[in-house]
Amino acid sequence: MVKKILFIPLGVMLGAAALGLAFPLLTGLPGSEQNVIPRFANKWHLGDGSENNPTLQYLVKYHDMEFLAEIRFLDKTLHTQDIVVVIDDKKTGQHIEDKMQIGDAFVFTDISDEIKPYVHALDATVFSVRDTIVEERYLVVGAEWGTVFVGKFTPKLKLIGYQDMEFEFGTLKTFTISYGINDIENKFWIADNVPLPVKAEYYSLDGTIDYTYELVKLES
């Protein structure tokens, strides 16, 4: 009799555990598209992997500007990190290389006047994610990543896709983050252990393109 009493609760516990593991996959909760249980998923944050001193080069198109921006992450302290930014302007042929720092929130400091227009463009494009993603977020499809404030609009930012993406340097597993306003959908793509988004397409409220950027080189 004692053995039976112990066996029944154990069976219930095992059944409940199995149901708990299967529940996200059966109900369409965040992570079901990737076969991932959310609490076991990786998280991404601004600066993810920057301590490994990667080099990222982007092709940035912002308003009437088009340039290559190489960002080399160097020594990191508790609240700052040294970086080298190399600019090659596709329209003017100008080449600029400058060393500066970024803080905890990836804000530039010690900027020279020569490179300032390009740093402003990076602020508005590649680094603009810092204005939205201020905490670690789960890398699972369906997860909400916060709220975006655009004028009177406050759309939800969501992770909507997980896929292999081809770049000039090879293939990366990427996650698509997006929000919509009326008929406009703005998107950016991130990769685990890459400190900044790897690609973005953003539109103004009138539907015209505001900026795009894409990673063209990644070294670590």
Domain chopping of the chain, boundaries: 2-29, 43-219
Exposure letters 159-198 (e unless 16+ CB within 10 A, then b): bbebeebebeeeebebbbbbbebeebebbbbbbeebbbbb
| pLDDT at 29 (0 to 100) | 54
Residue 83 has pLDDT above 60, yes or no: yes
Which residues fall within 8 angstroms of residue 35, CB to CB, at 6 or more apart?
Answer: 25
CATH number of 43-219: 2.40.360
How far does CA 114 lie from the centroid of its chain? Answer: 28
| 154 vs 148: CA distance, rounded Å | 5
- The string of pLDDT tens digits covering residues 106-163 is 999 889 999 999 999 999 999 999 988 888 999 999 999 988 888 889 999 999 999 9
| 201 vs 208: CA distance, rounded Å | 11
φ, ψ of residue 156 in degrees (nearest 5): -85, 135
| 32 vs 141: CA distance, rounded Å | 7
Residue 34, beta-bridge partner list: none
| 112 vs 23: CA distance, rounded Å | 55
| pLDDT at 131 (0 to 100) | 87
pTM across the whole model? 0.82
Amino acid letter for position 216 = V
- The string of pLDDT tens digits covering residues 156-215 is 999 999 999 999 999 999 999 999 999 999 999 999 999 999 999 999 999 999 999 999
